[in-house]
């Protein structure tokens, strides 16, 4: 089964590249076993060639393969730019200033209260931002003024809105 799965993987066209891995490796499409038994036009042409003519044709295809690989690289870069644009459109950067009151995500695995189970809180705090560092990192202190030793990335923080 593994050989059949690999054959299907190698001869399936990928959306990102627009071609098959087999074509990128050998420069031409794979000849399916059914085509050999039915004697398709591609197989008939290949069998009519002498060994030297066939090897020359294969080398010519490999020379053209460089252009195909460059075209595939361009298609993949375009697709990556599209993915980045979609991600950035949804991404909302968080910026906090000194004195902002925020909540911090509970990051420790196993920090759930066994009595509460899945209803355990996922945020702790409130905290106050006491220092804004480079790269979106923050130093916090709790409401009693105790400064947290470890800095935390802004993606694990959210603004605290007290209920009135």
* Per-residue confidence in pLDDT tens, the chain, 164 aa: 888 888 888 888 877 777 888 887 777 777 766 665 555 555 555 666 677 776 777 777 777 778 888 888 898 899 999 999 998 888 777 889 998 999 988 877 666 677 777 787 888 889 999 999 988 899 999 888 888 888 888 888 998 887 76
SS (H, E, C) 75-142: HHHHHHHHHHHHHHHHCCCCCCCCCCEEEEECCCCCCCCCCCHHHCCCEEEEEEEEEECHHHEEEEEE
Q: Give pTM, 2 decimals.
A: 0.46
Instruction: Give me Rg for the CA atoms of the chain.
Output: 30
């Amino acid at each position: 089964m593994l050989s059949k799965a690999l054959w299907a993987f190698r001869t399936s066209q990928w959306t990102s590249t627009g071609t098959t891995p087999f074509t990128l490796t050998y420069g031409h499409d794979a000849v399916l076993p059914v085509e050999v038994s039915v004697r398709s036009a591609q197989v008939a042409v290949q069998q009519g060639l002498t060994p030297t003519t066939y090897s020359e044709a294969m080398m010519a295809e490999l020379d053209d393969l460089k252009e195909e690989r460059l075209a595939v690289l361009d298609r993949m870069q375009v697709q990556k730019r599209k993915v980045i644009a979609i991600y950035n459109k949804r991404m909302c950067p968080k910026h906090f200033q000194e004195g902002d009151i925020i909540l911090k995500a509970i990051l420790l695995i196993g920090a759930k209260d066994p009595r509460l189970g899945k209803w355990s809180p996922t945020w702790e705090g409130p905290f106050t931002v006491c220092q804004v560092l480079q790269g979106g990192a923050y130093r916090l202190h709790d409401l009693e003024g105790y400064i947290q030793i470890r800095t935390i990335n802004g993606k694990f923080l959210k603004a605290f809105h007290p209920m009135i």
